[in-house]
Copies of this chain bind each other. A is one copy, B any other.
Amino acid sequence: MPDSIYSQFCPVAMATEILGSRWTIILIRELCAGSTRFNDLRRGVPRMSSALLTKRLRELENHGIVERRATDNSAGQFEYHLTDAGKALTDIIVAIGIWGQKWINAELQLNNTDPSLLMWDMRRSIRRDLLPDRRVNVQFEFTDVTPREAQWWVVCDPDQGVDLCLNDPGFDVDLYVVTDIKTMTAIWMGLESVSKALEVDKLHLSGDTEVANAMSEWLGLSLFAPYPKEK
């Protein structure tokens, strides 16, 4: 982006010069959500090329929004952190998200969900504190997704945090979740409820009944799930 597209002194225009380029807002959202490593960021913006990701990160660094840190860890390891100016962008991201949740019909995107992106987001919002105080392994199976991305394991460990696996980690499975990708997405976005999906047979749970019954608790939802559609 050239130095000045809009050439306006209005703070809205000055901010938009920085934030208006493609992918920038989406990338900042991922940074706000807590990703710091290059490849973690990539998982949050899977359709962005790595070349462009690098470029945007440099731009944000130059604008004082992101800081690039070497990890003390040996070699070639870097982390990207929001500066104070970057953290202050949270207000904008939240305002955008709330508006989107309230006013945009999600049907189009619901029919086109990337399973790995959904799992990446879901992993982050899981309330491990509302799960039994032991390692819990939940297997998700999507009935309408290409085999390669149909099965996921989410391993919630009191010590290790929440881990997402595309390959069977080999632990005993506490809960099996079988559903279609659209239902799972709608639930996570707050557009449908676990109980309703169970009722109409679009969601199936089997395994540990305690874990199953508490699913609507420990399955934290999208930050924007609480905002109902308008109009």
Contacts and interface: CB of A to CB of B under 8 A. Distances in A.
Interface of A: 3-16, 18-20, 22-23, 25-26, 29, 47, 64, 84-85, 88-89, 91-104, 106, 108-110, 112-114, 117-118, 121, 185, 189, 222, 224, 230-231
Given A8-B117, A9-B113, A112-B7, A91 B95 contact: yes
A5 B21 CA distance: 12
17 contacts: A5-B22, A6-B26, A8-B26, A8-B114, A9-B117, A11-B97, A11-B222, A12-B100, A14-B109, A20-B20, A20-B22, A20-B25, A85-B230, A88-B99, A89-B99, A91-B95, A92-B99
Contacts of A15: 96-97, 99-100, 104
B222 A10 contact: yes
Contacts of A23: 6
Contacts of A25: 12, 16, 20
B93 A12 contact: yes
Nearest to A227: B11
A133 to B, nearest CB: 31
A101 B23 CA distance: 23
A9 B112 CA distance: 8
A99 B91 CA distance: 9
B10 A29 contact: yes
Given A109-B7, A230-B85, A26 B13 contact: yes
A64 B229 CA distance: 14
